Amino acid sequence: MFHLIRILSLLLFSSVVLTAEEDYALKRENMIRAIETDVVATSIYLDKKALDPRVMEAMNTVPRHALVPIRYRSKAYLNRPLPIGYGQTISQPYIVAIMTDLLNPQPEHKVLEVGTGSGYQAAIFSRLVQQVYTIEIIEELGMRATKDLAELGYDNIQVRISDGYYGWEQHAPFDGVIVTAAASHVPPPLIQQLKPGGRMIIPVGSSFLTQQLLLIVKDDEGNVTTRQILPVRFVPLTGSH
Ligand code: SAM
C-alpha cells in the first residue's frame, strides 16, 4: 500500500513538473512570435524582416525563467524588461535578439559582454559561439549569474566581476563585443580589444534618457565605422572611468 501511494505521488509530481516545463515552452513560443512581430515592425531600422534562424533558435532554447528572480518567473517570457535587483534589469527579449543578431555570431567566435546582469544574454551567446567572456560590476549580480549559469550547464561562459569599461585584456582580441548598459561614449579599450573584422554593439547616450544603439565595425585594416541602428533605453554604464 505504502509503495502504491509512493508510486502514485511520484507519477503525480512528475506530471506537474512536465506541465510546468510545457507551460514555459509554450510561453517561449509566444515570446518568439512577439519578437518576430517587433522585428517586422522595426525592419526599416534593422534592414531585414527576420533575424538569423540560429539566433531565434537560441532565444527559443535558453530558459529565461531560470535567470529571473523567482517572483518574476511567470512574466519571464513577456516581451519586456524585468527587474533583477540592485536597480538593474534583464533586457527585453526583442532587444536581446536584435543585439545578438547584429553581432553576427559564428561558432568559432569569442565574444565579450559588458554587463552580465542575470546572465541571460551571455547564455544566448553561449549557444552560438565558442566562448563567452562577461563582466559585471555589481558583485552580487556577478556571483548570482555565475552560480545560475553553472547550474544550467553553460560551461563556455566566464564571468568576471570588475569595471567592463576596460574590457578583458587577457582574452582579447574578441570577434564581438556587446555592451548592455548605456555609455556616454564608446570605451576606447573595447575598440582596441576588437579583432580586425570584429563587431561591437553598444547603446550610447545620456543616462536614463533614450540612447542610440550603435553597431561599430572594425575592418581588416583596423578602420572603424559606426552605424546608428535604433533608439533604445538602457540602465547606465557605471564605474570610475
Ligand atoms: N545583459 C544583462 C542580462 O542579460 O540580464 C542585462 C544587463 S543590465 C541592462 C546592465 C548591467 O550592466 C547591470 O547588471 C549593471 O550592473 C552592469 N554594468 C553597469 N556598468 C557596468 C560596468 N562598468 N562594467 C560591468 N558591468 C556594468
Count CB atoms within 10 A of the CB of residue 222: 12
CA gap 145, 75 in Å, rounded: 19
Domain boundaries of the chain, sorted by first residue: 2-232
Q: Give 89 Cα–ligand 1 centroid separation in angstroms.
A: 8
Q: Give 11 Cα–ligand 1 centroid separation in angstroms.
A: 42
Amino acid at residue number 211 = Q
* pLDDT tens over the chain, length 241 residues: 556 566 555 555 555 556 888 899 999 999 999 999 999 999 999 999 999 999 999 999 999 999 999 999 999 999 999 999 999 999 999 999 999 999 999 999 999 999 999 999 999 999 999 999 999 999 999 999 999 999 999 999 999 999 999 999 999 999 999 999 999 999 999 999 999 999 999 999 988 678 999 999 999 999 999 999 999 999 999 998 7
Long-range contacts formed by 92-96: CB under 8 A, 24+ apart: 93/31, 93/34, 93/35, 93/59, 93/64, 94/34, 94/35, 94/38, 94/39, 95/232, 96/59, 96/120, 96/121, 96/124
Question: 9, 14, 15, 91: which one is catalytic?
Answer: 91
Number of the ligand 1 atom closest to the C-alpha atom of 115: 12
Q: Which of 65, 139, 180 to mutate to test the pocket of ligand 1 (most atoms within 8 A of CB)?
A: 180
**Residue 91 a catalytic site member:** yes
Q: What are phi and psi of 193, to 5 degrees?
A: -85, 5
pLDDT of residue 174: 98
Q: What are phi and psi of 152, to 5 degrees?
A: -85, -5
- Please give the distance of CA 137 from its chain centroid, rounded to a whole number: 16
Which residues fall within 8 angstroms of residue 121, CB to CB, at 6 or more apart? 91, 96, 99, 100, 113, 115, 134, 178, 180
Burial class (CB in 10 A: 0-12, 13-18, 19+), 131: middle
Superfamily of domain 2-232: Vaccinia Virus protein VP39 (3.40.50.150)
As for ligand 1, residues whose beta carbon falls within 6 Å of it are 88-91, 114-115, 117-118, 120-121, 135-138, 141, 163-165, 180-181, 234-235, 237-239
